[in-house]
Amino acid sequence: MPDEAAMDLDGDSMEEQLKAIQISSFEEDEEEDQDEEVEEDADSNSDDVDDDDGEAEPVTLGFVEKPKNDWSLLRHMFPCKAGGVPAWLDPINLPSGKSSLCDFCQTPLQFLLQVYAPISEKESTFHRTLFVFMCPSMKCILQYKHEQWKCPPEKASRSVKVFRCQLARSNPFYPSVPPRGDGTDNSSGTGAQLCNWCGTWNGDKVCSSCRKARYCSEKHQAMHWRSGHKLVCQQMKTYSESSNSSTVNNRRTSNELEKVASNTLWPEYEIINEDECEFDMEMSGANGYSGSMVSNDRSDETFKALLKHFEADDDKKSWTSFQECISKAPEQVLRYCRSPRAKPVWPISSGQPSQVDTPKCRYCGGPSVFEFQILPQLLYYFGVKDDVDSLDWSTIAVYTCEASCEASLSYKEEFAWIQV
């Protein structure tokens, strides 16, 4: 999620916003070099600033909007998105095995969001995307909340997982020139065959009857069978065995298989970005973010309801500071700031990880740094009910390898800390 200039919030500017996010590394090399020199000077001048000074590091806010077209969230557009299915950066070498499962219930994880965050200083991170998955079971989230305190943290079981994928400018999947962003860009080849139920993970298991439907797990195969594949499967088998089988019927059943069958995926949104400095502390609700979908009344009710759960004085102070920070733009769902000095805005004081609780990179052994946090407002856009057992969190903080190291794996697992 690169830094962006202030954006025009009119609906017609969506395409320009997306292009600005994606192709800055392609077309603005000289300008970025100049900007880096300015930033280095700024960093050197800020060394004496106290670490607790929240204004020392610029923050980019993420907001969700329904996509205005059917191509802007495809993988070759390098999108920032939430819900639906992931737009895998490397479309072939996906995470596999236990990496795709909740460590508690062994169910395939559900896609939450992805952030396109290239690092221009390194050739190997010319393209770079972070993917976040989680188990939708609140029981598993609560188990993870307690498990994450275990030492060493590398061995803790997880129900929230983060994967980092990065590619050089010259790679097997994408051209070295920027996408035009007008709907005429073509996807570069095909990717791995995905699960017909979730559309997320590698479909390395095949239906034993029709031999066409693919699944990432036996659980998703069973769910697809019960939801209607049993009938489709029988039809496909009948068509293939019949000498009078029609091409139209075969095409229809094949098209049905190409669709993601699950009806439990979260709704799909595009994440667009704004610099936090664009939002004045005294900005009224009427003058806030133009893409607002949550009323201020609803936001206030949510904050008041959550505040009742915090009994300790330190937690109340922390929540007050969190609310004050978020109130600049109540509809934000994500806060991004990749810097060695960056810190999350913690809603709960007693649930913060120490340096020991944050694991070192499992691939290079280097330190992990905070990169972004996901806010509970996203649950509202996903339509999650406010029931006792419904999915909920106060914040999810994502930590990544400070060096954004290279490794043989295409998708390198990072670390997420959750407060509930």
Model confidence pLDDT, tens digit, residues 358-390: 999 999 999 999 999 999 999 999 999 888 889
Single out the residue of 110, 109, 156, 112 nearest to residue 130, CA to CA.
112
Spatial contact of 66 and 241, defined as CB atoms under 8 Å apart? no
Assigned token pair, 342? 């960056």
Q: Does 194 score more than 50 pLDDT? A: yes
Q: Is 53 exposed, middle or buried (0-12, 13-18, 19+ CB in 10 A)?
A: exposed
Q: Does 253 score more than 90 pLDDT? A: no
pLDDT band at 402 (very low <50, low <70, confident <90, very high): very high
Single out the residue of 4, 34, 1, 36 nearest to residue 20, CA to CA.
4
Question: Would you give the DSSP letter of residue 108?
Answer: B
For residues 156-161, average pLDDT: 93
**Among 292-296, 334-338, 379-383, which stretch is predicted with the lowest mean pLDDT?**
292-296
Q: Does 76 score more than 90 pLDDT? A: yes
- Report the distance separating Cα 381 and Cα 130, nearest Å: 21
- The DSSP annotation for 363-401 comes to TT-PPEEEEEEE-THHHHHTT----TTS---SEEEEEEE
For residues 163-178, average pLDDT: 95
Model confidence pLDDT, tens digit, residues 298-327: 555 555 555 555 555 788 888 888 999 999
CB atoms within 10 A of CB 4: 16
Model confidence pLDDT, tens digit, residues 16-65: 443 333 333 343 444 444 444 444 444 444 343 344 444 558 999 999 99
- Report the distance separating Cα 236 and Cα 406, nearest Å: 45
The upper half-sphere exposure of residue 84, i.e. CA atoms within 13 Å in the direction of its Cβ, equals 20
For residues 108-133, average pLDDT: 97
> Global pTM?
0.79
What does the pLDDT read at residue 63?
98
